[in-house]
Chain A
Amino acid sequence: MAEPAPALAAVPSAQPRVLVVLGVLAALLAVAPFLGFYPVFLMKALCFALFACAFNLLIGFGGLLSFGHAMFLGTAGYVCAYAAKEWGLTPELAILAGTATSGLLGVIVGALAIRRQGIYFAMITLAIAQMMYFFYLQTPFTHGEDGIQSVPRGKLFGVLDLSNTLTMYYFVLAVFLLAFLLIYRIIHSPFGQVLKAIRENEPRAISLGYDAARYKLLAFILSAILAGLAGATKAIVFQLASLTDVHWTMSGEVVLMTLLGGMGTIFGPVVGAFVIVSLENYLSAFGEWVTVITGAIFVICVLAFRRGIVGELAAWWAKRSH
């Protein structure tokens, strides 16, 4: 990239306000099942929100557009489902196994992909993800088109029965909030700041003595781990790991969520994920038109709405308070 991308830049965030918003969000989500929202819908949205946040860590703060993030979601889902079903691991261990596998995949893919930049980076991640897709299509343990079905939810730490929907919901909420705090922490750590510097001007960051490649790789691995956490949790929630989660459309979907909510904003991906998941929920009767609408949202966002929902709101707020 020759010049820094103005629209990808994060909106400056006042730290205390973020924590207040997060507190309100957590409280709202904690009571949401009693306000008439379906827990299964909320859990799906939360898993995707985490997935989008992980993706956002890479694009919004590292400036790296991965078009293959579905491979981390899907890989963790498969490993987690297999571990829970065939090895009988407890859910937390199964999720850990899935997440760790995704992290490992992230090390390998990241080391390869960061050898090229910008558009090539996107194409390489997409191509490797497609390779993983064919691998999962052909390898026997994933059961091809059927996927790994009826994965037991099991007992968390051997005590809490996750087959109870509400228990499951609060577990997912806890995973989401913890991961979100971790991402928040990463962004505001010295590491996050260096990452931002590399995004804005890589040659300058290198001349300041930062090993840009290492920072990018680390960001990629972190993003892969968190995406894996989302995928593994999702597999336990839906008791299913299938090819949908490794397909390129899934990689596109997470890009859309982040773009719509606001790249480089803290809450953007969460908002984007909730909007897209509800949209798909309500529009599922329209069949293939969902794809058309998804595409149209992409086009509109890119042409007129590049800061996304949260980014536009923040800009509006900043303008008003001046």
Chain B
Amino acid sequence: MTEIFGISTQALFGQLLIGLINGAFYAMLSLGLAVIFGLLNIINFAHGAQYMLGAFCAYFLLQYAGVGYWWALLIAPVVVGITGILIERTMLAKLYKLDHLYGLLLTFGLALIFQGIFTNYYGSSGQPYRLPEEFAGAFNLGFMYLPKYRAWVIVASLIVCGSTWFVIERTKLGSYLRAATENPAMVQAFGINVPRMITLTYGFGVALAAFAGVMAAPIYQVSPLMGANLIIVVFAVVVIGGMGSILGAVLTGFGLGIVEGLTKVFYPEASNTVIFVIMVIVLLIKPAGLFGRER
């Protein structure tokens, strides 16, 4: 067995892979947070809970309706996205004129409600979600085995992030969105329905979280608190990257996942905290975040 710095390459690449997988989830979740923040100016504290809802939606579909992974990947984001739209219409829309912190407090309350309800019925242990048969097995890369599903997670996450970037940065719809981020009143004056755009944006961000939840179900199991701790790490990722740029959010997500994976190899004790430490360092050097701008 080959070794690098006294660590077997097998372990090294294994952790790198886990880091990439985690990074894929950081990227998808921080992307959703950034999209929502761009237009609504609120930080969606319920993002972790909505990620959990996505996973549970897939679990219910399989358990009670026999609907498999691929359909779940489509249905769960739509269903959870619609609940997001309802939340935006009935609650968040009433808060836009107030301090943005109220949006944070409201979504925090919603997160507690979702997590409390599911913990009540499912406890804090995880429900297994069967891996779709297409993904059984692994690719042999010569130096390591790459389980097919993990490869799919990375590819799918890159596709989702890439198309989101494309829609926002390269299409007409995206240009409206960016314009509304800069100056909603002006965009409205041009006859574009900004409130509806805001609603759909929140729905999309939430759907993205649910999509990530379905992707996570076969890997991490489905548990009521699966999003609670993850979301705090994603917050740190968002602070590090800055929420100004889509590409920044994606790059930071993957990058920090890899850093975390490497930390697990070289200094496992710090693997839980390394992202927070990086956040502190970034705050000292570049307070606006690596890709951010002060707003």
Contact = CB atoms under 8 A, between A and B. Distances in A.
Given A124-B239, A127-B239, A292 B112 contact: yes
Given A7-B99, A119-B43, A112 B104 contact: no
Interface string A279-292: 00000000111111
A117 to B, nearest CB: 9
Contacts of B101: 5, 65, 118-119, 122
Interface size class of B (residues with CB under 8 A): 35 or more
Given A5-B98, A123-B238, A65 B115 contact: no
Contacts of A128: 276, 279-280
B119 A122 contact: no
A116 B109 contact: no
B104 A291 contact: no
Given A128-B280, A288-B116, A306 B102 contact: yes
A192 B120 CA distance: 44
Interface string B191-233: 0000000000000000000000000000000000000010011
A299 B43 contact: no
B111 interface: yes
Contacts of B246: none
Interface string A98-142: 000000000000001001101110111011101100110110000
B5 to A, nearest CB: 23
B179 interface: no
Nearest to A116: B287
Given A126-B232, A138-B269, A288-B120, A299 B113 contact: yes
A1 B91 CA distance: 21
For the residues of A in contact with B, the DSSP-based class is helix
Interface string B91-102: 100110011111
Interface in A268-311: 287-299, 301-303, 306
Contacts of A209: none
A158 interface: no
Contact of B105 (A115, A123, A298): A298
B273 A259 contact: no
Contacts of B116: 288-295
Contacts of B283: 112, 115-116, 124
Contacts of B276: 127-128, 130-131, 134
Nearest to B114: A295
Contact of A122 (B43, B91, B269): B43
B110 interface: yes
Interface size class of A (residues with CB under 8 A): 35 or more
A201 to B, nearest CB: 13
Contacts of A306: 98, 102
A303 B91 contact: yes
A248 interface: yes
Interface in B43-99: 43, 91, 94-95, 98-99
A291 B112 contact: yes
A199 to B, nearest CB: 10
The 6 A-B residue pairs with the shortest CB-CB distance in the complex, in nearest-first order: A298-B109, A295-B112, A291-B116, A5-B99, A292-B116, A295-B113
19 contacts: A5-B98, A8-B99, A67-B104, A115-B283, A115-B287, A118-B100, A119-B41, A119-B43, A126-B235, A128-B279, A130-B232, A135-B273, A248-B232, A288-B119, A291-B116, A292-B116, A294-B116, A303-B91, A303-B94
Given A252-B112, A294-B109, A303-B91, 4 more contacts: A5-B98, A120-B239, A292-B117, A295-B114
Interface of A: 1, 5-8, 65, 67, 112, 115-116, 118-120, 122-124, 126-128, 130-131, 134-135, 137-138, 248, 252, 255, 259, 287-299, 301-303, 306
